[in-house]
Amino acid sequence: MRAHFVKFYNPGTIVAEHTVLPIDSWDVEQAVKQADDIVERHGATPYAFRFLTKAREDDELDSKIVEKSNLYYLGGKVETLGEITERNHPSDRILISNMRANNWAKVIRNANSYGWTMPLEKDDVVLDYVPPHKRKVENNAINP
């Protein structure tokens, strides 16, 4: 038996919180639509998702993850270590230190609900995405 899921990552107090939902296939458009409906504690909305495929044999009680995708970020701004260093903002001091120590060439900053910064891996994808609550604000500004 095999089944597909999408795991959404939401800003948490210290670490990311997760919501896992079933999905028919690894369909990015369907996952984006599902993201629109997720609101976690304190109004947190997803900043990213990844697909999972779980499987089990007939004689196994629990399934296990047999495949997982890269991360798909729901919008955000990609910044390089050079850009952040050049900006020379005091609030970036710890980020710069972490990027150097961990050899992160790029990070992504997302503010769909709360500010969240993560290293951007080479296979990660940044989607053109605006969360529903921000779409309403943009649409009202366009059509007052």
Tell me the per-residue pLDDT of 38-91, one tens digit each, with 9 for 90 and over: 998 888 899 999 999 999 988 878 889 999 999 999 999 999 999 999 998 999
Kindly tell me if the per-residue pLDDT of 98 is higher than 60.
yes
Q: What percent of the chain is modeled with pLDDT above 70?
A: 94
* Residue 42 region by backbone torsions, left for phi larger than 0, else alpha for psi between -120 and 50, else beta: left
Quick one: CA torsion of 58, 61, 62, 65, rounded to 10 degrees? Answer: -20
Comparing 116 with 144, the larger pLDDT belongs to: 116
> Residue 144: its pLDDT value, please?
55
CA atoms of 36 and 39, how far apart (whole Å) = 8
CB 18 within 8 A of CB 37: no
Cα(34)–Cα(59) distance, integer angstroms? 32
138 pLDDT band (50/70/90 cuts)? low
